[in-house]
Amino acid sequence: MSVELAIFGGKKEIDYEFQRYNHIGEEEISAVIEVMSSGKLSGYVGSWEPAFYGGPKVQEFETAWQEYFGVKHAIAVNSWTSGLICAVGAIGIEPGDEIIVSPWTMSASATAIVHWNAIPIFADINISDFCIDPDEVVRKITKRTKAILAVDIFGQSCKVEELKKIADDYGIKLILDSAQAPGSVHSGFFTGTKGHIGGFSLNHHKHIHTGEGGMIVTDDDDLAEHMRMIRNHAEAVLAGRPWTKPINMVGYNFRLGEIESAIGIAQLKKLNKLALRRIEVANMLRAGLSQIEAIEIPEVMPGNSHVYYMFPIVLNLEKLKSSRSEIALALQSEGVPGITEGYTNLHLLPMYQEMQAYGSSNFPWSLRGELAQFDYSRGTCPIAEKLHEETFMMIELCQYEFTNEDIALVVKSFKKVFSHFDND
């Protein structure tokens, strides 16, 4: 006799709220008190003098990040969105240039390109890891391509060696958006460190966070200095210092404060422990959910570790007598937290469908003449589209402090729901 699902009036499997993810401890509190007591909440000055590079905690945080990740330069910013804007500006992008980017990412990965009056060109993803497909990248390269902006989505590296070779072969840059993958490893190196520029998010639901914030990394001295200029009022600073590259010197206040930096120093020391716990939780989920035939759990790609910002699931709808939405609702009714349907398709957002960013005259697409040369139509990224609209689900591991007992109940709930909707 089958057990009735909660969605149909049965007893729910999970009758309590899971604890929200919170790894702020005494170390962070003490660090904040120290900064508050000093009275120095920011050390930046927006002109060319030693304080241009920020206060003592900012510089200490950057040094700690450099040492942890094995990079030459780390540049703290007030968000990873700001970091992406710095990165795109620093490569010398010109209005009307193109950057190839995944559609399967947060909007800022593409908006940072539009910010500099350049054109995002979306290349489809691999179903195996949800990262941009190198073959699709090659297919989208034109004489106007300036860079590839690849996203290390959900917690593991993209195919960085293939993408770096493509970038080198075509004389373009590789920018790595590793917002969701801090601490994961690819072929012995930290994810995000083997492009020309990489970076990480420090906002409130990431592995480590400072409330808001981001960190850019690079081994290139010129790129690093250009990004520091954009971070801190470049147009004003340029007049007071020797700099032979006045391109894209529209600067901002993208500066991270002393309090956030002090928190970040303490958080960075916890990164390995926090990442290992995410891996433990994901491995328990993988072991339990792999027994359900209608669920396909994507791979951890060869050479990668995965730190599971999200736990991705692909449904085999042929084995189910239900839609994804009904399954998601049934899981939520059982008390399973963090269930989300689909992810995103940036190329189908109104900005790209209408090609309207600045004003009403199709700028910056109109810089290049005929708008028809840019194709953002449905069908241009079929893998990403089908996943988002039909088959992809995820568990938001980033939102909760899952205990082993919590995971056991989640797995039990999945088995209960999928047993009911099994098509066999």
Helix (H, G, I), strand (E, B) or coil at 98: strand
Q: Report H helices in 189-323.
A: 221-231, 234-237, 258-268, 271-289
- We report the CATH number of the domain holding residue 113 as 3.40.640.10
Query: Domain range holding 31?
Result: 26-269
pLDDT at 72: 98
Distance CA 2, CA 389 (A): 30
- The 8-class DSSP code of residue 188 comes to T
Residue 214 maps to a domain: yes
Whether the Cβ atoms of residue 269 and residue 27 lie closer than 8 Å to each other: yes
Residue 307 maps to a domain: no
Residue 312 maps to a domain: no
Residue 20 maps to a domain: no
What is the pTM (predicted TM-score) of this model? 0.96
Residue 408 maps to a domain: no
pLDDT at 249: 93
> Which amino acid type is present at position 290?
S
140, 187, 249, 288 from 166: Cα distances, Å: 12, 18, 28, 39
Count of domains for the chain:
1
pLDDT at 321: 86
Find where tokens 């963090």 sit: 338
Per-residue pLDDT of the chain (424 residues; tens, 9 = 90+): 357 999 999 999 999 999 999 989 999 999 999 999 999 999 999 999 999 999 999 999 999 999 999 999 999 999 999 999 999 999 999 999 999 999 999 999 999 999 999 999 999 999 999 999 999 999 999 999 999 999 999 999 999 999 999 999 999 999 999 999 999 999 999 999 999 999 999 998 899 999 999 999 999 999 999 999 999 999 999 888 888 778 999 999 999 999 999 999 999 999 999 999 999 999 999 999 999 999 999 889 999 999 999 999 999 999 998 999 999 999 999 999 999 999 999 999 999 999 999 999 999 999 988 898 999 999 999 999 999 999 999 999 999 999 999 999 999 999 999 999 987 6
pLDDT at 105: 97
Q: Return the closest-CA partner of residue 298 out of 281, 280, 320, 316.
A: 316
Distance CA 208, CA 69 (A): 14
Find where tokens 């390995």 sit: 272
Q: Return the closest-CA partner of residue 249 out of 265, 264, 228.
A: 228
Residue 86 maps to a domain: yes
Residue 240 maps to a domain: yes
- Residue 415: phi and psi, rounded to 5, are -60, -40
